[in-house]
Amino acid sequence: MSAKIIDGKKISEFFRAEYKERVERLARYDARPGLAVIIVGADPASEVYVRNKGKACESIGMHSEIHALPAETTQTELIAWVEKLNAMPAIHGVLVQLPLPAHIDDRAVIEAIHPDKDVDGFHCANMGALVIDESPFPPCTPYGVMKMLAFENIPIEGKHVVIVGRSNIVGKPQAMLMLKAGATVTVCHSKTQDLAKFTRDADILVAAVGRANMVRADMVKPGAVVIDVGINRLADGKLCGDVDFVSVSAVASHITPVPGGVGPMTITMLLGNTLRAAERKTQLQMLPTGTAFA
Ligand code: NDP
């Protein structure tokens, strides 16, 4: 068997075309979605991610601005920046690029973002809303995975989904979204004993660990759908995922490549969440004052 490659770039183009139309529709109401990204320090990988987010916004007509702060920025100063952006009407989404320098508490900064502008979906209010199936901003990476599966018409309901990784930004929200979609979900992590026993039972396997090529063909059920969230840089500078792409392709029915799989979808979902934030605000503004929403 040779797995069908799920092309994240192609699927991204599909969604970005739809988002571009929605941005144009908002322009008729003199509204333009705006994303502000704050980056602290000079981590080269983060700088690339932030630049790509800015370019993606511009490609569909959204406003974006990048605030690059020095590595020695204090937590108080950073939170003051977040609050300033929270108050700016032209900004609908505020994102603080992670990781932050060690002297800053990520959680305190994320909680300072107004939940209505939390387009990463990491604020406690939005995480809580996700658990009860009502988040306006599902975290971008797991949300992108759901959109990829939907685009490929891969059924989720009744399937056994095994997620390797339990981080707040990927594994846990992925589990919530899969539960909502009707899957039976198993979440594995570094303390899981006999990982292969679980992965071999997956109809859909999501690897979100950060260990190059750790998922091998003998850990995958024949015909399974394999989603590789991991991004790892090898000694020769090349990127690879958590899944051993060549060997697993011979066993799986579908597989995402790295690069060109989940990565582009993450940025696309960020555009979607920012757009949704702007649409929600514009709808509120268009309502006469005194209504239930005003
Ligand atoms: P974290 O480091 O926060 O989480 C990694 C998870 O993997 C943890 O839950 C950890 O378990 C688990 N883990 C570590 N070692 C093992 C092991 N040997 N067996 C089973 N589980 C293990 O990473 P993130 O969730 O932030 O990211 C995961 C990967 O996805 C990274 O490569 C990252 O670069 C990539 N990524 C890609 C994105 C994209 O757009 N494609 C977006 C975000 C992340 P424990 O909790 O017990 O420590």
Catalytic residue list contains 197: no
Burial class (CB in 10 A: 0-12, 13-18, 19+), 110: buried
Dist. CA 277–CA 126, nearest whole Å? 13
User: Does one domain contain both 79 and 166?
Assistant: no
CB distance 117 to 137 below 8 Å: no
Sort strands 254-255 and 160-164 into parallel, antiparallel or unpaired.
unpaired
For residues 108 and 171, what is the distance between their CA atoms, to the nearest angstrom? 21
Domain that residue 207 falls in? 140-263
Query: Do 110 and 156 share a domain, yes or no?
Result: no
CATH number, domain with residue 60: 3.40.50.10860
The CA-based angle 192-196-201, given to 5 degrees, is 105
CB atoms within 10 A of CB 172: 19
Q: Report the distance separating Cα 234 and Cα 97, nearest Å.
A: 23
What separation in angstroms does the CA of 221 have from each of 46, 87, 157, 174, 228?
35, 50, 18, 20, 15
Residues 259 and 149 in one domain: yes
Q: Which of 116, 118, 120, 228 is catalytic?
A: 120
120 is catalytic: yes
Q: What is the maximum alpha-carbon separation in the chain?
A: 62
146 and 230 inside one domain: yes
pLDDT (tens, 9 = 90+) of the chain, 294 residues, equals 699 999 999 999 999 999 999 999 999 989 999 999 999 999 998 999 999 999 999 999 999 999 999 999 999 999 999 999 999 999 999 999 999 999 999 999 999 999 999 999 999 999 999 999 889 999 999 999 999 999 999 999 999 999 999 999 999 999 999 999 999 999 999 999 999 999 999 999 999 999 999 999 999 999 999 999 999 999 999 999 999 999 999 999 999 999 999 999 999 999 999 999 999 998 866 665 544 333
Kindly state whether residue 7 falls inside one of the protein's structural domains: no
Q: Identify whether residues 89 and 197 lie together within a single domain.
A: no
**What's the CA-to-centroid distance between 240 and ligand 1, angstroms?**
14
Q: Kindly tell me the number of DSSP H helices and DSSP E strands found in the chain.
A: 10, 11
Catalytic-residue membership of 75:
no
- The whole-angstrom distance between residue 147's C-alpha and the CA centroid of its chain comes to 11
- Ligand 1 neighbours (beta carbon < 6 A): 141, 164-167, 169-171, 188-192, 195, 208-211, 229-232, 262-263, 266
Q: Does residue 152 sit in the same domain as residue 103?
A: no
pLDDT of residue 283: 84
Q: Which of 64, 82, 115 is the last residue of a domain?
A: 115
* pLDDT score for 284: 65
Beta strands at 239-240 and 232-233: parallel, antiparallel or unpaired: antiparallel
DSSP state of 133: T
150/257 same-domain check: yes
Centre of ligand 1 from the C-alpha of residue 56, in Å? 25
Domain count, the chain: 2
Residue of minimum CA distance from atom 32 in ligand 1: 210
Pair (146, 245) in one structural domain: yes
261: number of CA atoms within 13 Å, CB side? 28
User: What span, in angstroms and rounded, lies between the C-alpha atoms of 192 and 61?
Assistant: 45
Strand partners, 186: 162
Question: Measured in angstroms, how far is the CA atom of residue 76 from the centroid of ligand 1?
Answer: 29
Q: Where are the beta strands (DSSP E) in the chain?
A: 4-5, 34-40, 63-69, 93-96, 160-164, 184-188, 204-207, 225-228, 232-233, 239-240, 254-255
Do both 98 and 158 map to the same domain? Answer: no
Ligand 1 atom nearest the C-alpha of 210 is 32
Phi and psi at residue 149, to the nearest 5°: -65, -40
Domain assignment of residue 133, yes or no: no
Q: Considering only CA atoms, which residue is closest to atom 5 of ligand 1?
A: 209
Residue 1 lies in a domain: no
How much distance in Å is there from the Cα of 208 to the middle of ligand 1? 5
Shared domain for 148 and 246, answered yes or no, is: yes
In a domain, 19, yes or no: no
- The ligand 1 atom at the shortest distance from the C-alpha of residue 189 is 21
Please report, for the domain that includes residue 179, its CATH number: 3.40.50.720
